[in-house]
Structure 1
Amino acid sequence: MLQKGFILVLSCLGVFQALFLCIYLFSLQKGNRLANRLLALVLLGLTIRIGKSIFHNYIALDPRIRNLAIAAILTVGPFLWWYGKALFQKDFSISKKQFIHLIPFAIYVLCSPIIPNQGDVLSSIAYFSVFLHFGVYIFISYRYALQQKNTSNVKLKTWYNRIVIGVSVTWFLYVGIFFGFIPFYILGAISFSFLVYMFSYLLLKRHVFALEKYRSSTIDRDESQKLLSSLKLLFENEEIYLQQTISLQIIAKKLSISPRQLSQVINENEDKNFSEFVNYYRIQKAKKMLVDSSYISEKIATIAYDCGFGNVTSFNLAFKKETKYTPSQYKKQFCLNGCQV
């Protein structure tokens, strides 16, 4: 009894969290509003289906209500595919012609009073056809994701892949339950709850709408990587990062690109902002100086200024963030063996 109660609470929390995300995405005004709403519709379709599983596991539902909930799955596939298109295609919009993909949903809803749902052969055929339709669109979404090879926004592609994989997990579970490979009917709802909380965490940790920041950029992935190589050569050959006056504008001008494009190149390829990128090179230089015998008598402050930092506090914070040591601790730790790292 206690176990059943726990499962019910866990499943219901997942559904409520999913509904909260749907409302949040629908009401969000910033970023790619079409993509946000399509993602909300993907979640809503799954939530309706999962909600049916929870109630039906504890309460006998009318077959017509069960059919309406099953029909919601017929919207998830098209919306998942369109969500990818909205993420990667700048001028994507849903034309009237594309609504043809929602015809199976409309037919299932209209025929819900007469579609069998009693566990017999006809019921199984109807149910299987819904998940076959869903599986086809998951495949289409996977294929579309693979076609985005040249997108410069690798993080956005990773995010979409995760969404497709998460939806696929739910599909596999329900197909497994249908064929009897998975004996626990409620497992689909439980796994959905975990997936919803995982996506909520990812949204908070690395806000997906920030990943769309450079959606209108003309720089593709190949060009972005070439610019990153040029940037690294500039830093390594000229050691320009040692200058305290270094700025995004100065480096962008040297590379003959805009500051926004330079920011995009660093963000997408290194997962850092400009300051973090510069500090990384400064810290690498400081690490060498701290264990160099010719600098053994130098003060930490002197090394900080020589490496381009404006003050010792910012140097200490940046150094510990990169190495997990303070400069003094690092010097003591790695100077034990003749001051060689």
Structure 2
Amino acid sequence: MQIDTQYLFFFSMVGAFNGFLLAAYFWFTEPKETSNKFLSLMLLALSLRIFKSVILYFNPDVARDFLQLGLMACFSIGPFLYFHVLSKVGKYRADNWFYRGQLIVLGTLLIGVGLFLPYDTYPELWRGPIYRIINWVWFAYITASAFELRPIWKQMVDKERQLAFSETITLSVFAGNLLIWAAFFTASYLSYILGAIIFSFILYLTVMLVIFRKKEVPVKYADKSIARDEASTLKDRLDTLIAEEQLHLSSTITLPKLAGRLNTSVPKLSQFLNDNLQKSFADFINEHRINSAKQRLTIEGKSIKMEQLAEECGYNSMSTFYSAFKKIAGETPAKFRDRISTDL
């Protein structure tokens, strides 16, 4: 293998390997949000597709079973991107049979074709019609994702405020998908390895963006503030939703999910919290969680274990619970419980 070819192989393959690592990171990282699960699955599928492409480019005699695995993974990239975007904008609900049905149908179709029409027996079918169907399904879900991202597109056009960091990352994931799809779709005109190179480049660009982001700057809004009546109505709806459904107690609650339950946009809810309540989303949720914890401690005292209380108040770790409690209440949960017991 020549030096230039070695460099090409290295930069193509390193993206795939790091994609596997990132997939594992997003699957196991806290908080275990649904959007992270779908992002993990998308990265896994995309990394398998890239891995297959690199191996095939440098070793055309690779086993056909491996080629089939790569193409089956490719079929999953678009759907996982779409459900990741749905989760980020607060529209995905696990109990919605329209979404669950898509996953079931696509999974059944994928497994059925793989079992009854294996690549080893029908290579021409996989290289022709199946390959084209896979690419168009991927593109269809990219298009659907673009449609679901329209509140963020609108925000970019209107320039009412800077995009939040999480919104920037979501757009990067979407743009990367589109570029990689375009690279593979035009593989007959351009180099087949281009998709792998783009994947590595986008992956490292995103990682560097995360690493050098010191701290997310509070969102700055333009002069277009929310009207007083609209803000009052939004506050009433938010208070009612929190009181009746106790959404703050869910460990998977996110800004997009809360906006979806309020039937409002993520930018508008973010603006309301920052401008009208003078709170970040995290502070808003933590205040409600700690108030619930204080009520439980006042009523139940030492009969409830701290680990149980933390979990039931939406915290996945005791350290996070203690830090939030002390920040908001000014004392640890244990000291608060002891003080309340003494006062009573």
Give the TM-score of the pair, scaled to structure 1.
Answer: 0.58
- Look up the match of 1:139: 143
Q: Which amino acid aligns with 1:175?
A: F
Change (3 A) 1:190 1:260: closer
1:126-149 deviation line (CA, Å, top 9, x unaligned):
211111111111111111111567
Checking the alignment, whether the CA contact within 8 Å between 1:74 and 1:102 is kept in structure 2 is no
- Look up the match of 1:46: 46
SS in 2 for 1:89: coil
C-alpha displacement of 1:258: 5.5
Q: Which amino acid aligns with 2:64?
A: P
Checking the alignment, whether the CA contact within 8 Å between 1:81 and 1:137 is kept in structure 2 is yes
SS in 2 for 1:189: helix
- Look up the match of 1:191: 198
SS in 2 for 1:72: helix
Checking the alignment, whether the CA contact within 8 Å between 1:142 and 1:161 is kept in structure 2 is no
* Stretches of structure 2 lacking an aligned partner (at least 5 in a row): 156-160, 220-252, 285-344
Q: Which residues of 2 match residues 1-341 of structure 1 at below 5 A?
A: 1-30=2-31, 33-59=33-59, 60-89=61-90, 92-93=93-94, 95=97, 96-98=100-102, 99-110=104-115, 111-113=117-119, 116-117=122-123, 120=124, 123-146=127-150, 154-155=163-164, 156-177=166-187, 180-182=188-190, 184-206=191-213, 214-215=255-256, 216=258, 220=265, 221-222=267-268, 257=277, 259-260=279-280
Checking the alignment, whether the CA contact within 8 Å between 2:53 and 2:196 is kept in structure 1 is yes
1:268-301 deviation line (CA, Å, top 9, x unaligned):
xxxxxxxxxxxxxxxxxxxxxxxxxxxxxxxxxx
- Tell me how large the CA RMSD over aligned residues is: 3.5
Change (3 A) 1:107 1:44: same
Aligned residues: percent identity?
20
Checking the alignment, whether the CA contact within 8 Å between 1:145 and 1:157 is kept in structure 2 is no
Change (3 A) 1:202 1:123: same
Change (3 A) 1:147 1:56: same
Change (3 A) 1:208 1:192: farther
Change (3 A) 1:91 1:12: closer
d(CA) in 1 for partners of 2:56, 2:174:
26
d(CA) in 2 for partners of 1:208, 1:186:
36
Change (3 A) 1:208 1:63: farther
1:199-237 deviation line (CA, Å, top 9, x unaligned):
222333449999996443667534655787xx6xxxxxx
d(CA) in 2 for partners of 1:129, 1:191:
22
C-alpha displacement of 1:53: 1.0
Change (3 A) 1:196 1:148: closer
Q: Which amino acid aligns with 2:38?
A: L
C-alpha displacement of 1:47: 0.6
SS in 2 for 1:61: coil
Change (3 A) 1:146 1:91: closer
d(CA) in 2 for partners of 1:109, 1:124:
15
Checking the alignment, whether the CA contact within 8 Å between 2:180 and 2:198 is kept in structure 1 is yes
d(CA) in 1 for partners of 2:91, 2:216:
14
Change (3 A) 1:150 1:58: closer
d(CA) in 2 for partners of 1:207, 1:81:
29
C-alpha displacement of 1:78: 0.8
Larger Cα Rg: Structure 1 or Structure 2? 1
Change (3 A) 1:91 1:55: closer
